[in-house]
Structure 1
Amino acid sequence: MILVLLFIAACFLAYSNGANDNFKGVATLFGSGTTDYKKAIHWATITTFSGSIAAIFLAEELVKNFSGKGLVPNELIAMPVFAISIALGAAITVFIATRVGMPISTTHSLVGSLFGAGVMAIGTEFNFIKLGKTFLIPLIVSPLMAAVLSLIAYIIFRYIRKKLKITKNSGIYIKEEQKVDSLTVSAHTMTANTTTKVSTSIKPAIVETYGGKLFGISSQKILDNLHFLSAGIVSFARGLNDTPKIVGLLLIINTLDIQWGMIAVAITMALGGLMNAKKVGVIISKKITPMNSGQGFTANMITGLLVTTASIHGLPVSTTHVSVGSIFGIGTVTKKANPKMISKILLSWVLTLPIAAIISMLLFLLLKNIA
């Protein structure tokens, strides 16, 4: 029964992860107006699922790291109660953030839960040195690196675009919405004494496109295709990086083949993204900084590069941190970043680890006494 509970806890974490994280890979597609929400989330689901399946062959090191090996004694890792406390602590933290609409890191939540349950179980025997070296340093450095690299990459691409004489054009897209307001008039003023509902609200939006051709093909069309490809790479990298972190908690279920664990997590993660990703998706797409397709492609390229490299080398970076860092780097160059929203997101990141740690501590204490 306790092993079934562990499997359910891991699936709850996978669902929460999908809800909070799946849209982040395609956020620039939606934010730049390259495509609508529905197409973006479907592309994210397909490519994230592909990355999750690829993790079976490419991410063994991450599976080991997030099982707790090296942080706590092997005897503790073999306790289902320990893994359940970690999974539920991280899942509850991510689920709450998703409901609020904050894009937090599942990786950060898992690290906090590992720390909380581990310290509650063994106190000072916990390997704090490995926690800092293997987990915390990559989590802190990666968003800063993403912001700097996306800033540099965008400046380089902008220079190349100008050299190729590809122009950037701005147009105003006007959307009309009909609203109903009461209007009373008389026959002497050419109207009737009846109530008619008529009022129009106009919402303008600036849309940036690229003019000119490259190799005889529209530069905008080339860029849109590259943008879709880069978004797919980011989502693939996220599936590759996040799936083994969750599956690592299932290692103690010896009766469950690790490949089937990966597939179960991948399916549940996809469902979470399809059903509950919109609130976080809108915030990360629209609220950090306005962007066009070229800027979105640049942010995605840097995010995909960093997350894929980290996954192959077993480094537990956060796709959330890297993605937000890349988008913020673009906003820094264009000087259109929203400092208030960035402040809120940073605050949620700071709170993630201690909240997850506290929840997992309490859960471990409760489950240990029950078991």
Structure 2
Amino acid sequence: MILIFLFLAACFLAFSNGANDNFKGVATLFGSGTTNYKGAITWATLTTISGSIAAIFFASTLVKNFSGKGLVPDTLIQSPEFAISIALGAAITVFFATKIGMPISTTHSLVGALFGSGVVAVGASFNFTKLGGTFLMPLIVSPLMAAMVSLITYTIFRKLRVSLGVTKKTCICVGKEYIPITSTMNFNGLITAETETHTVSRISNEQECIERYQGDFIGINSQKMLDLAHYISAGIVSFARGLNDTPKIVGLLLVINTLDVKWGMLTVAVAMAIGGLLNAKKVGEMMSKKITPMNSGQGFTANLITGLLVTTASIHGLPVSTTHVSVGSIFGIGTVTKKADFKVIQNILLSWLLTLPIAAICSAIIYWLLLKIN
């Protein structure tokens, strides 16, 4: 019975992870107007599942890291209660963050949950050195690195675009506007007569402007080429997220010796996909629209940097957060364009600071309660 509970807890964590994280890879596609929400989340789902399947072959190191191996004694790792407390502590934290539309890190939540349950279980025997070196350091460094690399890369790309003669144009809406010309009053109230005229529609905010690229590159329309590259880069980010996040959750299922790791990966992939399809819109709006307005070229650059950094980290077993890297990359672009909303970034950073202690407290309480029950 306890093993079934563990399996369900891991599925809940995977669902919450998908709801909070699945849209992050395609946020720039939606934010730049390259596609609509439905098209973006569909592409995210397909590519994330592909990354989860690839994790079976390329991410075994992460599975071991997030089982808690090296942080606590091996005997504790084989305890279902320990794994359940980690899964539920992280899942509760991510689930409620998703409900308020805040993009937090599942990786960060898992680290906090590992810490909370581990300290309750073994106290001073917990390996704080490995916690700092293997887990916390990559989480702190990765968003800063992403912001710097995206800032530098976009600056280089922009100069290259100009040198190739590819220019930007802004599309605005031209249509009919109804203007009142006379007003009369009767016993029913005010009656307004209207006339119709052709005019340029007012654009209420900068995000409603759509920037497109003009010019050809090696005989191909630059905008069409960029849109294709943007889709590919978004797919790379989502693939990398599936590759990086799936084994972290599967690591909690290692205590279920009867469940093959491959089947665990597939189960987690399906739960993540369902979570993203059903519950990703609030976080998607935050990532796409509120950090900074962007065009397709800027979105492509942010995705390219995010995908490369997360994929590299996954292959080397470094537990970086796709959330941290993606937000860092988008913020780096916003810094160059001087359009980043620093108030939104401050709120996101605050949620990141609270993630670890909240997950640790939830996990510690759950582990303590499970010990009392047994």
Query: Which residue number in structure 1 is paired with residue 305 of structure 2?
Result: 302
How much is the aligned-residue C-alpha RMSD, in angstroms? 2.1
Aligned counterparts of 2:260 and 2:134: Cα–Cα separation in 1: 26
SS at match of 2:172: strand
Kindly state the Cα deviation for residue 175 of structure 1 after the two structures are TM-superposed.
9.0
Kindly state the Cα deviation for residue 198 of structure 1 after the two structures are TM-superposed.
9.5
Aligned counterparts of 2:56 and 2:94: Cα–Cα separation in 1: 24
Q: Give the alignment partner of residue 235 of structure 1, picking from 234, 238, 250.
A: 238
SS at match of 2:209: strand
Q: Give the alignment partner of residue 363 of structure 2, picking from 348, 360, 363.
A: 360
Give the aligned residue type for 1:337: A
Aligned counterparts of 1:177 and 1:251: Cα–Cα separation in 2: 64
SS at match of 2:340: coil
The answer as to 2:114 corresponding to 1:114 is: yes
The answer as to 2:131 corresponding to 1:131 is: yes
- Percent identical: 71
Query: Which residue number in structure 2 is paired with residue 91 of structure 1?
Result: 91
CA contact (8 A) 2:70 2:127 kept: yes
CA contact (8 A) 1:52 1:243 kept: yes
Aligned counterparts of 1:235 and 1:259: Cα–Cα separation in 2: 20
CA contact (8 A) 2:203 2:209 kept: no
Kindly state the Cα deviation for residue 128 of structure 1 after the two structures are TM-superposed.
0.1
Change in 2 beyond 3 A, CA 1:344/1:198: farther
Query: Which residue number in structure 1 is paired with residue 152 of structure 2?
Result: 152
Change in 2 beyond 3 A, CA 1:73/1:173: farther
Q: Give the alignment partner of residue 334 of structure 1, picking from 337, 342, 359.
A: 337
**1:218-297 equivalences in 2 (<5 Å):** 218-297=221-300
Kindly state the Cα deviation for residue 169 of structure 1 after the two structures are TM-superposed.
1.0
Query: Which residue number in structure 1 is paired with residue 19 of structure 2?
Result: 19
Aligned counterparts of 2:338 and 2:165: Cα–Cα separation in 1: 23
TM-score for the superposition, normalised by structure 2: 0.93
Change in 2 beyond 3 A, CA 1:161/1:256: same
Give the aligned residue type for 2:352: W
Change in 2 beyond 3 A, CA 1:146/1:2: same
Change in 2 beyond 3 A, CA 1:196/1:21: farther
CA contact (8 A) 1:49 1:270 kept: yes
TM-score for the superposition, normalised by structure 1: 0.94
Kindly state the Cα deviation for residue 195 of structure 1 after the two structures are TM-superposed.
7.4
Aligned counterparts of 1:157 and 1:221: Cα–Cα separation in 2: 17
**Structure 2 stretches lacking a partner, 5+ long:** none
Query: Which residue number in structure 1 is paired with residue 323 of structure 2?
Result: 320
**1:27-66 equivalences in 2 (<5 Å):** 27-66=27-66
Aligned counterparts of 1:176 and 1:279: Cα–Cα separation in 2: 33
CA contact (8 A) 2:184 2:191 kept: no
Change in 2 beyond 3 A, CA 1:336/1:126: same
Query: Which residue number in structure 2 is paired with residue 164 of structure 1?
Result: 164
Q: Deviations over 1:278-300 (max 9, x none)?
A: 00000110000000000000000
**Structure 1 stretches lacking a partner, 5+ long:** none
SS at match of 1:221: helix
Kindly state the Cα deviation for residue 173 of structure 1 after the two structures are TM-superposed.
3.7
Change in 2 beyond 3 A, CA 1:176/1:37: farther
Give the aligned residue type for 2:340: A
Change in 2 beyond 3 A, CA 1:368/1:49: same
CA contact (8 A) 1:176 1:202 kept: no
Query: Which residue number in structure 1 is paired with residue 209 of structure 2?
Result: 206
Aligned counterparts of 1:3 and 1:338: Cα–Cα separation in 2: 45
Aligned counterparts of 1:259 and 1:197: Cα–Cα separation in 2: 68
SS at match of 2:170: strand
SS at match of 2:255: coil
CA contact (8 A) 1:173 1:207 kept: no
Q: Deviations over 1:3-44 (max 9, x none)?
A: 000000000000000000000000000001111000000000
Aligned counterparts of 2:332 and 2:297: Cα–Cα separation in 1: 14
Aligned counterparts of 1:196 and 1:15: Cα–Cα separation in 2: 54
SS at match of 1:251: helix
Kindly state the Cα deviation for residue 216 of structure 1 after the two structures are TM-superposed.
1.2
